[in-house]
Amino acid sequence: PQVSDIPIIQVFAEATALPAFPFIFARFDGVLGMGYPSQAIDGITPVFDRILAQHILQEEAFSVYYSRWEPRG
């Protein structure tokens, strides 16, 4: 996979369907790769931690931008 222009070697899983219980009451959401390693399932290293381990960033910084507006066009 690739994150922006950063190619990484990473195992990940995507949940496309979840049982209603207990997730209907769960208060979480997330951004791929921003979870804590201690919460990772099966000891899989989160994406951002993998990027840091590969020493491919000039700084240990990461940002996410959300917009309420859809692009026009």
User: pLDDT of 11-58, one tens digit each?
Assistant: 777 777 777 777 777 766 666 767 788 887 788 888 888 888 888 888
The SS3 assignment for 5 reads coil
pLDDT score of 21:
75
pLDDT score of 36:
84
Per-domain residue ranges for the chain?
A: 2-53
From the CB of residue 8, how many other CB atoms can be counted at a distance below 10 Å?
A: 15
Higher-pLDDT residue of 38 and 64 is 38
pLDDT score of 1:
61
Amino acid at the residue 38: S
Residues 6+ apart with CB under 8 A from 68: none
Model-wide pTM > 0.85: no
